[in-house]
Homo-oligomer: A and B are copies of this chain.
Amino acid sequence: MKPAKLYETLADAIASQVAQGVLREGERIPSVRQTAQHHQLSISTVIRAFLLLESRGIIEARPQSGYFVRRRPDTPVRKDAISAPLSPADLARAPALDTSTLVLTTLRSIGQGSIPLGSPFPDPAAFPWARLNYHAGVVSRRVGQNQQLSDLPPGNPELIRQIARRHLENGLTVDAAEIIITTGATEAINLCLQAVAQPGDLVAVESPTYYALLQALERMGMRVLEVATDPEQGIDIAALESAIVNQGVKACILMPNFQNPLGFMMSDERKRALVEMLARHDVPAIENDVYHELYYGDTHPSSLKQYDRHGLVLHCNSFSKSLDTGHRIGWTLPGRYRAQVEKLKFLNSLNTAALPQLAIAEYLKNDGYDFHLRKLRKAYAQQAAIMSAAVRRFFPPGTSVTQPAGGYLLWVTMPPSVRALELYARAQERGISVGAGNMFATGDAWQHCIRLNYSYPWSADVEAAVRMLGQLAGELTAS
């Protein structure tokens, strides 16, 4: 067992005070700054400890007020049946826990009255809920009248047909027989990863990349190689090839269109070059294309799958970012790994819910998906421009910001002295969430970067939040 880290010891000490009633329910605890001074610890150590206590449900942050001891819920309590909080031993067993804690508390702040600039999810208000629900009603009635409800792999045939049709319309020739419906792109990627690599294998990813991917690789016991990625061009193909040749990379996972968090779209030429390079080395690539529909230009971006001649590109996709964020319906085109992926899907017994599949198929067949998408793309393009301008205006000199060609995520690189983790903590106290750069890599490469979500309509509140963030960042350049 590893020796307890400083922040764990501090968290335990505070938890102990709560348990003993020294700090009482509802009471405000000393601030980050006060605690740091009192215990002679760094601000970032105290922040980590507070994050941990938050994730254990012992304290909670209240905007504009500070941190408070959480009240227990007032339903009857069976004390002996409630599990104990995570012990230092538990924490020692999970080396990535402080990053997952950061992610968890960032995600938890969504919907608690804060401006969710740190959220990875699109504003749900922009989606065609009434239409989706109408179609869900139509299919519900059929089920009530004896239509079978089957959720077996590979998935609902009509939905598969609709997905294949849309791919064809967008320039990707697809055999419907290749498609497997999954519970979101998350499950698609999990299954594909299990099909192409084993525990201990080295898997290459972009750097930065989105946190859940790093989490999945760690959970599966695979080793991660983070490859240099240009904020506009995408992954460094030569560096990836070198890693394949010299370090034995077994597979890679890429997001060529509106990558989370950098927002780039790889050019057609680079996509082709990348796929051809991988084919030369017989290395499979899992392509996460969930933002595909959210382009600002006039034409669909291409997918890596379009350049694949060997069944080596496993295309993973989802409706969650462009149509239905309330259910989790995704799919994969796993190339030569199709049989394994279907087998893994079946063996997992986690069949993808049948009704949302039917409802989405009905919507795609009968309703205005492209009409909805055109409105969405236009709104996002406008909001991208407004938020970029606001960041350039309010953040300290030396701050750069990406210019996404699609999606709804902005990547902000601040002066090196500004620690995203501290900005995160100060912003939380003011009811604003950001995506701290620390979440997007295994090391500290992006510790002075943040990701901002601009899917929400611009408003005085959002502008005030961005101005505040810039002000806080400015304060942190001086410290």
**A residues within 8 Å of B by Cβ?**
56-57, 72-73, 75-78, 80-86, 90, 94, 100, 104, 107-108, 110-111, 116, 121, 124-125, 127, 129-130, 132-133, 136-137, 140-141, 143-152, 164, 173-178, 183-184, 186-187, 190, 212, 215-216, 219, 308-311, 325-328, 334-340, 343, 346-351, 353-356, 358
Contacts and interface: CB of A to CB of B under 8 A. Distances in A.
Q: Which of A121, A140, A308 is most buried by chain B, counting CB atoms within 10 A of its CB?
A: A140
Given A81-B336, A82-B175, A83-B311, A143 B129 contact: yes
B136 A133 contact: yes
B339 A85 contact: yes
Given A84-B339, A143-B129, A183 B183 contact: yes
B353 A83 contact: no
Nearest to A103: B346
A85 to B, nearest CB: 6
27 contacts: A57-B177, A72-B177, A73-B175, A75-B176, A76-B175, A81-B311, A81-B336, A82-B175, A82-B178, A83-B335, A85-B339, A90-B340, A90-B343, A94-B343, A107-B152, A124-B143, A127-B143, A149-B325, A183-B183, A215-B347, A216-B349, A219-B348, A326-B353, A326-B356, A327-B353, A328-B353, A353-B356
A346 B107 CA distance: 11
Contact of A343 (B57, B86, B358): B86
Given A76-B173, A311-B80, A143 B326 contact: yes
Q: Which of A145, A308, A353 is most buried by chain B, counting CB atoms within 10 A of its CB?
A: A353
B125 A130 contact: no
A150 B346 CA distance: 28
B353 A353 contact: yes
Contacts of A310: 80-81
Contact of A129 (B108, B140, B174, B326): B140
Contact of A140 (B83, B132, B151, B183): B132
A183 B350 contact: yes
B173 A144 contact: no
A137 B141 CA distance: 14
Contact of A127 (B78, B144, B349): B144
Contacts of A347: 100, 215, 219
Copies of this chain, tallied across the complex: 2
Nearest to A211: B349
B140 A326 contact: yes
Given A327-B355, A347-B100, A175 B77 contact: yes
Contacts of A147: 124
B78 A173 contact: yes
Contacts of A76: 173-175
Contact of A336 (B84, B140, B174): B84
Contact of A338 (B72, B83, B100): B83
What are the 10 A-B residue pairs with the smallest beta carbon separation, nearest first? A326-B355, A111-B148, A83-B338, A129-B140, A81-B311, A212-B349, A124-B149, A129-B144, A133-B140, A83-B336
A350 B94 CA distance: 19
A82 B338 contact: yes
Given A90-B339, A184-B350, A353-B356, 20 more contacts: A76-B173, A81-B178, A81-B336, A82-B177, A83-B336, A83-B338, A83-B340, A84-B336, A84-B339, A86-B339, A90-B343, A100-B346, A110-B150, A125-B146, A143-B326, A149-B325, A149-B326, A183-B183, A183-B350, A186-B350
